[in-house]
Amino acid sequence: MPNIKLKNIKNFICQEINLEIFDKEFLVLWGPTGAGKTTLLNVIAGLTEYEGSVLFDDVSVDKLPVFRRKTGYLFQNLILFPHLNVKLNIAYGLRVQGKLKDEVESRVDELLKLMEMEHLAERYPKDLSGGEKQRVALARAVAPSPKIMLFDEPLNSLDFNTARYLRTEIHKLQRKLGIVTIYVTHCFEEAFALADRVVVLDNGRIVQIDFPENIFKKDNCRMIIEKKYCDCHQEDKTEPGQIELLRDRISLCHLVNE
Amino acid sequence: MKKIKFVYNLIPVLVFLLIWEIIVRLKFVPGHFFFPPFTVVIQEFYHLTANGVLGDNFLSSLFRVLIGLFAGSTAGIAIGILMGYERLIDKIAHPILSLFYPIPALGWLPILMLWFGIGEILPILIIFICSFFPVLYNTITGIKGVDKEFIKAAQSLGASEWKILTTIVIPLALPNIFTGLRLEAGMAWRVIIAAEMVAIPTGIGALLMRAESLLRIDIIIVCLIVLALMCLIFERFFIYLEYKLTHKWRQYA
């Protein structure tokens, strides 16, 4: 059963987007700059104006303000709060939602342990490396146990090795938490390594929705990949056929065919 | 390290005082009457302190500065937060406040004297006006300067408008708010002295005027030293407070 439905989404970028996202699915939105990937994430999070309808579990959330949609958002530039240390950054979502102090502390400790960053707890964002900031932002986004995780090109600013390592971490975490995840990227390796399904966007429209291994088989997508959008990490010369897909993907064929 | 820095800063001051003493003692300037040596000023300082004249006048000025500065800063910060965060309030209040902002605090003295007479309320109001505007505009700048991305991030984590204001916007605007407070802490002392010299019979400014009428230059210098020290102490206090509240997270060049 679809967990999120987007019906006729229109705004200054998106043009009649219809999309169904399934429970526990890792969906990658893939396309060039200006394709409407981030705008679509913002529509789901309620951070931008739109026409049409967004449904979570078949319930419309169009009238819900951002803070009631319960989405976890990992922004492109991470946006850690500079005046809060790592612990307080992670606890922020829980504290503003009025959770009890003990509950907040145990959740923060759990995430610090899970992300292997107990030693960073008292540090401030200015004292963290790019990869550490990334992990803190990720922990902060998942701390309030969101129903949906939204990732906006979170690995862009990192070097190739750190990005590859964190990509695996994100994937593992998503599988562990079982949260429906929408991940924006313009890097095809990332898209193909992580996705259960890939949505190819261009000029505010959905060009293709398919499983990663099928995307290359379609002529229109092959053209997009080969001629237009291969602009991920410079060190990354991986050919599409050589990409190692991360294990433990859930097959959604039957869901789509239903 | 801090002690060494303090000693280094103290050396030029001590040299200056020594030169002052030598120049006057060697009679390079005409008479002690017009330019007393530093040691005579110190003696007078002791004398004025011992007989309570300096203490009483100082406390009068201090009381006015503290009340006026507190009230002006509190109002400046509160209205600044409202204007910086709520566009509608900014649109309504900005044109009115822009009209009053260019008027120097002492420019209000004649009209306030007529309205409130000569009493404690007058210097407090002058200090209020003097501290209100710079704190207000620095607060507005600080609040408006908070990156909208932080607000977006807080919203996505479930924070309401009020929570965003109190937990993100105000803390991140603190450096700007403190800039206003720091500037005004010294300015309040300069203005209160001027107000007391012109219109109030008590306080350091009034003591200055009495000393002038008695041709007591040593007392005038004592008052000026007290004024300089208080400006410095107040400014340093706010620098210290800002450092204590923000140094952990701020990037210092």
Examine residue A173 and state whether it is found in any structural domain, yes or no: yes
Examine residue A91 and state whether it is found in any structural domain, yes or no: no
Examine residue A129 and state whether it is found in any structural domain, yes or no: no
Give chain A's domain count. Answer: 1
* Vertex B149: Cα angle to B145 and B152 (nearest 5): 120
Name the band, by pLDDT with cuts 50, 70 and 90, for residue A252: very low
Backbone angles phi, psi at A85, to 5 degrees: -75, 175
Examine residue A236 and state whether it is found in any structural domain, yes or no: yes
Mean pLDDT calculated for residue range A111-126: 89
Decide if A93 and B150 are in contact by the 8 Å CB cutoff. Answer: no
Alpha-carbon distances, residue B191 vs B64, B74, B112, B117, B227 (angstroms): 11, 18, 15, 18, 11
Decide if A124 and B249 are in contact by the 8 Å CB cutoff. Answer: yes
The ipTM is 0.80
Examine residue A112 and state whether it is found in any structural domain, yes or no: no
pLDDT in tens, A17-66: 889 998 889 999 988 788 888 999 999 998 888 999 999 988 899 888 88
Backbone angles phi, psi at A74, to 5 degrees: -105, 110
Q: Which domains does chain B have, with CATH numbers?
A: 49-246 (1.10.3720.10)
Chain A residues within 8 A of B168 when measuring between CB atoms: 81
Instruction: Give me the domain span that covers residue A42.
Output: 2-81+148-257
Decide if A96 and B172 are in contact by the 8 Å CB cutoff. Answer: no
Examine residue A118 and state whether it is found in any structural domain, yes or no: no
For chain A, what is the mean pLDDT? Answer: 80
Q: Which residue of A has its CA nearest to B170?
A: A83
Tokens 């700007």 identify what position? B176
Provide the pLDDT for residue A224: 55
Say whether pLDDT at A253 is over 50. Answer: no
Decide if A67 and B155 are in contact by the 8 Å CB cutoff. Answer: yes
What SS3 class is residue A210? strand
Tell me, what CATH number does A170's domain have?
3.40.50.300
- Please state, in angstroms and rounded to a whole number, the distance separating the CA atoms of residues B139 and B172: 11
Examine residue A123 and state whether it is found in any structural domain, yes or no: no
Mean pLDDT calculated for residue range B165-170: 94
> Which residue pairs from A209-218 have beta carbons closer than 8 angstroms and sit at least 24 positions apart in sequence?
A209/A19, A211/A252, A211/A253, A212/A28, A212/A245, A213/A245, A216/A240, A216/A241
pLDDT in tens, B98-108: 999 899 888 99
Partner-chain residue, chosen from A93, A125, A126, that has the shortest CB–CB distance to B157? A93
Examine residue A139 and state whether it is found in any structural domain, yes or no: no
Q: Which residue of A has its CA nearest to B245?
A: A83
